[in-house]
């Protein structure tokens, strides 16, 4: 079987050496080049035609974000961002994901050598996933170095009309992983301010979900925030599972509340979609609507079937519009899906479903 060919782009000689070593130790991949800056990388990519690029954000002569924007316009190639900046500069990481990076790894601020060795499995897993990702050419002009400070934010879509009188019992549950930051944004930006509450588990490490929620809050008509343990779950609000914590829903008298708790990883993830969806099946039952978006693996697939068995109505993203058709494929295989749709159709169909069932709810006190 042909090996996955990887080009490493990083201004640190140590990091280039370590990443090359980590990649070359894998039987199914090889590092075909390592570049210290984007200009060297450009020639190297042209000559070696890699399957995946690992890219640092902060480099001399041209920063990684500018380079990524040019790359995705002219020669779309799967990219995994590997950078110290991504840990404290979550906004930069989110900008990279907007521009088409498949995923990211946050290398530690200190103890880089040991830290990268500990991250070897995560790095190589993400390179494997990236090598199979579906990419789309970036059509829009990319803003300059100030990108990510407002002027490059996507315009809101045309305002959807209000859904109408809805039961506050309804809750929408979203699960996503690789490619999911942009897919979730696509769904949420189409929701009107009077939509039901939305609870979201997106696989993301601690330190990133707060910035992600703030970014979405500035783009959407509903309010978006990181979930806080014990808070009421209200219509017109979206709640994102904090990185490194599980999110679930519970009943407290007449209200739904968010539960945010530490615990063991489930399906290797924390937060885990399985945890959120299981709570939806148990607590919300037929008043739940489930959405499974792009992502690697099978996290949440079984629990989404449990949601369906408990009476929920479920939407699953189709293969053509997924960055990685893993979690959606597994959800379909488990018989969890009522509708399998292109990403752009999920929010309109969700709104249509909500309007058709407006006023109908099943009390589960």
Active site residues: 177, 203, 299
Q: How many whole angstroms separate alpha carbon 310 and alpha carbon 303?
A: 10
Q: How many whole angstroms separate alpha carbon 234 and alpha carbon 99?
A: 32
- Radius of gyration for the alpha carbons in the chain, expressed in angstroms and rounded: 21
Q: How many whole angstroms separate alpha carbon 337 and alpha carbon 332?
A: 5
Beta strands 288-292; 171-176: pairing state: parallel
- Cis geometry, peptide bond prior to residue 271 (ω within 30 degrees of 0): yes
* 278 exposure class (CB count in 10 Å sphere: 0-12, 13-18, 19+): buried
């Amino acid at each position: 079987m042909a090996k996955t060919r990887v080009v490493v782009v990083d201004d640190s000689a140590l990091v280039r050496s370590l990443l090359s070593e980590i990649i070359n130790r894998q039987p199914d991949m090889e590092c075909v080049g390592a570049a210290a800056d984007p200009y060297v990388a450009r020639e190297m990519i042209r000559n070696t035609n890699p399957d995946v690029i690992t890219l640092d954000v902060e480099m001399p002569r041209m920063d990684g974000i500018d380079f990524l924007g040019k790359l995705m316009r002219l020669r779309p190639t799967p990219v995994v961002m590997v950078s110290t900046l991504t840990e404290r500069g979550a906004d930069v990481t989110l900008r990279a994901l907007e521009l088409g990076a498949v995923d990211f790894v946050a290398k530690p601020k200190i103890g880089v050598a040991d830290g990268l060795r500990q991250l070897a499995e995560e790095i190589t897993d993400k390179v494997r996933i990236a090598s199979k990702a579906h990419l789309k050419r970036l059509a829009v002009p990319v803003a300059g170095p100030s990108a990510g400070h407002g002027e490059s934010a996507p315009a809101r879509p045309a305002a959807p009309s209000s859904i109408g009188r809805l039961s506050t019992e309804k809750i929408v549950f979203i699960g996503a992983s690789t490619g999911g930051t942009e897919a979730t944004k696509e769904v949420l930006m189409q929701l009107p301010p009077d939509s039901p509450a939305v609870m979201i588990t997106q696989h993301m490490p601690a330190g990133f979900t707060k910035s992600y929620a703030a970014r979405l809050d500035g783009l959407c008509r509903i309010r978006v925030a990181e979930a806080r343990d014990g808070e009421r779950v209200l219509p017109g609000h979206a709640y994102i599972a904090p990185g490194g914590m599980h999110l679930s829903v519970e009943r407290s008298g007449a209200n739904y509340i968010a539960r945010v708790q530490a615990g063991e990883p489930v399906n290797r993830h924390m937060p885990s979609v399985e945890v959120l969806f299981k709570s939806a099946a148990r607590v919300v039952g037929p008043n739940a609507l489930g959405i499974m978006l792009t992502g690697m693996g099978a996290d949440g697939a079984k629990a989404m079937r449990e949601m369906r068995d408990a009476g929920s109505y479920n939407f699953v993203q189709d293969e053509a519009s997924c960055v990685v058709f893993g979690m959606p494929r597994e959800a379909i295989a488990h018989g969890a899906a009522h509708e399998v749709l292109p990403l752009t159709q999920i929010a309109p169909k969700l709104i249509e479903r909500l309007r058709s069932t407006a006023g109908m709810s099943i009390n589960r006190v």
